[in-house]
Amino acid sequence: MNVNHLFDLSGRTALVTGSSRGLGRAMAEGLAAAGAVIILNGADKGRLDEAVAALTAAGYNARGLRFDVTDEAAVIAAFEMLDAEGVEVDILVNNAGIQFRRPMLDLETSDWRRVIDTNLTSAFVIGREAARRMARRGRGKVINIGSLTSELARATVAPYTVAKGGIKMLTKAMAAEWGELGIQANAIGPGYMLTDMNQALIDNPTFDAWVKGRTPARRWGRPDELAGTCVYLASAASDYVSGQIIYVDGGMISML
């Protein structure tokens, strides 16, 4: 049996939110390497332009689409612009996210809402816009980015934990409602990864030792280590897989 074709994304277009850097950028590069045309997204124009230039220079078919994932009007306008150009999104990766560390007793409601809006509500809004269009073609792949906090609470990141727990159930709800439309929805739960989001923790020797001690792999994850799982969930290899969350965490969730 030849299985290579199952992972071939030639002829597919993927939108990866928050792909100007970090995990989103690595997943976008993985999808591009599997043959997909990539639409990169971010809020900051400079970082987005730099990411598009880097992927293009590497020989990939990539473009940028800048919008704030929390701005519903901007999201809808972006999809309408793609409609006008005849661009169809076959693969959506809802990756854009922020983390905000503060104990709940000191947390402002506006900060709670900002974290929930960026990490969870955006995945619903962008997922809905993508799925309405995927439904017309009878196929599509939605990949939402969860976290270990989809399962576990950690102190000082309550709204993040609630948002990522919500991502897990949003993924199941999408799978339940959209399966008959030919759309699979799954999630990836990264462990502790080497990105800007974690820079303060990486630089903190106590936290660094905690991560290495608690992770069976005894190290942080590299962003490129998400690429294979992302390609799998975006490809025909996962056509009968839906509603799942796959942890890419060096085994940490089994040990905590």
Question: Please, which residue, 22 or 127, has the CB nearer to ligand NDP?
Answer: 22
Of 8-16, 66-74, 80-88, 125-133, the window that binds ligand NDP (rule: CB under 6 A) is: 66-74
> What distance, in Å, lies between the first and last C-alpha atoms of the chain?
39
Of 16-24, 31-39, 54-62, 129-137, the window that binds ligand NDP (rule: CB under 6 A) is: 16-24
> Is 250 an interacting residue with respect to ligand NDP (CB under 6 A)?
no
Of 8-16, 67-75, 101-109, 206-214, the window that binds ligand NDP (rule: CB under 6 A) is: 67-75
Q: How far is the CB of 8 from ligand NDP (least distance, A)?
A: 26
> Is 64 an interacting residue with respect to ligand NDP (CB under 6 A)?
no
> Is 165 an interacting residue with respect to ligand NDP (CB under 6 A)?
no
> Is 47 an interacting residue with respect to ligand NDP (CB under 6 A)?
yes
Question: Please, which residue, 98 or 169, has the CB nearer to ligand NDP?
Answer: 98
Catalytic residue among 60, 160, 192, 247: 160
Question: Please, which residue, 131 or 167, has the CB nearer to ligand NDP?
Answer: 167
160 catalytic? Reply is: yes
Catalytic residue numbers, as ranges: 160
Binding residues for ligand NDP, rule: CB under 6 A, are 17-24, 42-44, 47, 68-70, 95-98, 118-119, 145, 147, 190, 192-193, 195-198
